[in-house]
Chains A and B, each alone.
Chain A
Amino acid sequence: MNVLGIIATAGRLMSEEIVTDSNGDVTTHHWLLPETAEIIYGGLASLIIFYALFKFGGPLVKKSFAARTEKIQKELDAAAADKSAAATEAAGIRAAKGDIAAERARLLSDAETQAAAVLEDGRARLAVEVADVEAKAVTDIASAQGRVGDELRAEIARLSAAAVDHVVTGSLDDATQQELIENFIARVGASA
């Protein structure tokens, strides 16, 4: 129903008379349609309300829609930014993963190099120590041989000296003493 129809209906209704039943009670003129005046007043009120809604609620609705659109756009932008950041981070992680692999390879390589160096150094040091120990053992053996020889010689000398003391002292009887004295006197007297 357009506005002109409504107005025309309202005019016709205003011209209608009040219908009563047999009991005198007021009744509608149609079982479904309201009274014409009601249609007019209701239609005008509806127009006024629709207009007011359009006039005052429209901007709010537009604003709300705009805000919602802006919010959605912001969310879309944020999502896009997040997606971009996630992509960047993923790229970084992938790069880091690549770096980790490279670092792991480098560390393994370094470890192998160092292990080889340590092993080589240990072998060299061990060889030197073995040589030193061998040399020291040879020296110790020689020293021990010399020491044992010296001790043996010293012991022989000590025993010999004791034997000499014993033998000489035992052989110094009076005749020998006198002979020694006479020999001394003769030797000193002849040494002018």
Chain B
Amino acid sequence: MSDNPPPPPPRGGAGSGGWSERMSDNRIEGYARGLFEIARAEGTLDEVEDELFRFARSFESSDALRTALSDEQIPPAKRQAIIEDLLGGKATSTTTQLISMVVGSGRTRDLPAIVDLLVARASSAKHQEVAEVRTAVALTADQQTRLAAALVNATGKQVNLKVVVDPSVLGGIVATVGDTVIDGSVRTRIDQLKSRL
């Protein structure tokens, strides 16, 4: 199946741990493959992939959201209701249902890894590399198009641009394509200046 190439390992060095970690990696990969197949079957892979990616980044950056969705004391139905409230009308129903499914199955903590694998799998299916772009302010569509072209030009790879608005960047852009990091953020420059000081 040329549409289902083997996905790259998820972020965090998957496969380097013990049996339980390998088991967890297998489950994460299974969930990612399942979500990928569902989104592709629904014909909304690009949209769902993008929405899942954004939600995963929000999940990572928000302690309150992470705590609320990962708390085992809260019934799964209530946590799924939180997701419905958050994404209702802002994301496709497929995205909402997929996230609810992951949360309902008790794999909330693995959601970012599952989504990263899904995005990597979707990018591989399109013969693209995921380009994670972090900016302090949202990029316009034109800027995204020109940035994607610039990254293609710089890396020589077709890129699947994923923009994350991250206030900690302060200004500028941090682009990560595979193992390549192009850091033009104000945060890094300030850190370098502090280091020199």
List A contacts of B172 (CB < 8 A): 180-181, 183-184
> Majority SS of interface residues in chain A?
helix
In Å, the complex CA distance between A187 and B154 comes to 9
**Would you call B81 an interface residue if the criterion is a C-beta within 8 Å of the partner chain's C-beta atoms?**
no
**Residue of B with least CB distance to A191:** B154
Contact call A188/B171, Cβ cutoff below 8 A: no
* Contact A177/B171 with A164-B190, A164-B193, A183-B184 known, Cβ cut-off 8 Å: yes
In Å, the complex CA distance between A45 and B150 comes to 180
Contact call B149/A189, Cβ cutoff below 8 A: yes
Q: Which listed residue, B139, B143, B171, B184, touches A172 by the CB 8 Å rule?
A: B171
Contact call B197/A189, Cβ cutoff below 8 A: no
List B contacts of A169 (CB < 8 A): 170
Contact call B170/A181, Cβ cutoff below 8 A: no
**Would you call B147 an interface residue if the criterion is a C-beta within 8 Å of the partner chain's C-beta atoms?**
yes
* Contact A189/B150 with A177-B137, A180-B172 known, Cβ cut-off 8 Å: yes
**Would you call B95 an interface residue if the criterion is a C-beta within 8 Å of the partner chain's C-beta atoms?**
no
The 10 listed contacts between A and B (C-beta, < 8 Å) are: A157-B197, A160-B197, A165-B190, A168-B190, A184-B147, A185-B173, A188-B151, A189-B146, A189-B150, A191-B154
Residues of chain A whose beta carbon lies under 8 Å from any beta carbon of chain B: 156-157, 160-161, 164-165, 168-169, 172, 174, 176-178, 180-189, 191-192
